[in-house]
Amino acid sequence: MTNFSIKVYKQYFNFASAHFLVFGDGSREPLHGHNYRVAVTGHAPELSQDMVFDFLDIKPIVRVLCDGLDHKILLPQNNPHLSFIHEGPNVVLSCADGARFSLPQSDVLFLPIPNTSAERLAFYLNEQLRARVLSQFQFTFKELEVEVEETPGQSASYLHIEQPQ
């Protein structure tokens, strides 16, 4: 059972991106965008130097992760209903419904997830954040929750619970 937590949700933890969901039958929703916001909650069973984790250390990491998604078309690299071909400076995206998009590679960000739902984006950000915190600070949260809000009042979260070694 964890006893302490921190939560960070700064105004600048945001990104504006385009995406579309691909449904199980291969159909998709239209390409559209959101002004996403991100909140992070980390838990620990004990305090180190009277803190769970220093706010000054976690905020820049979350900001860099959000900035990396900003002003991009987010594409799920692991979706079986999509295929991608690189043609010069563009990426050609073919969808199971017959739609084709030709997009500048510089505008596209391929993510190692099966879809670009808020839930999957929360999972992706959680994985990235945990890896960076471990790499930079040799620290692991007992529980780490990342919330992605795609519109005010509409969000999804992913909670990672560290398993005992």
The tally of domains found in the chain comes to: 1
Of 79, 81, 138, 69, nearest in space to 107 by CA: 69
CA separation for the pair 159, 165 (Å, rounded): 18
Of 77, 95, 67, nearest in space to 10 by CA: 67
Which CATH number fits the domain that encloses residue 43? 3.30.479.10
Start-to-end C-alpha separation, the chain: 16
Instruction: Give the pLDDT confidence score for residue 2 in this predicted structure.
Output: 54
pLDDT at 1 exceeding the cut of 60 = no
Segment 73-95, tens digit of pLDDT: 999 999 999 999 999 999 999 99
Question: By CB neighbour count within 10 A (0-12 exposed, 13-18 middle, 19+ buried), where does 14 fall?
Answer: middle
Report yes or no on 64 lying in a domain: yes
Segment 31-40, tens digit of pLDDT: 999 999 999 9
Cα distances from 137 to residues 18, 29, 130, 131, in angstroms, run 32, 40, 10, 10
* Confidence band for 100, pLDDT divided at 50, 70 and 90: very high
- What is the pLDDT averaged over residues 1-5? 78
Q: Are strands 154-161 and 32-44 parallel, antiparallel or unpaired?
A: unpaired
pLDDT at 41 exceeding the cut of 70 = yes
Report yes or no on 53 lying in a domain: yes
Report yes or no on 66 lying in a domain: yes
- What is the pLDDT averaged over residues 114-121? 98
Residue 90 C-alpha from the chain's centroid: 24
Q: Give the chain's radius of gyration (CA, Å).
A: 17
Instruction: Give the pLDDT confidence score for residue 164 in this predicted structure.
Output: 80
Report yes or no on 100 lying in a domain: no
Report yes or no on 67 lying in a domain: yes
What does residue 125 show for φ and ψ, rounded to 5 degrees?
-65, -35
- Its pTM stands at 0.95
Which domain, by its residues, includes 130?
Answer: 4-20+33-72+115-161
Instruction: Give the pLDDT confidence score for residue 165 in this predicted structure.
Output: 73
**% of the chain exceeding 70 in pLDDT:** 99
Partnered with residue 43 across adjacent β-strands are: 5, 143
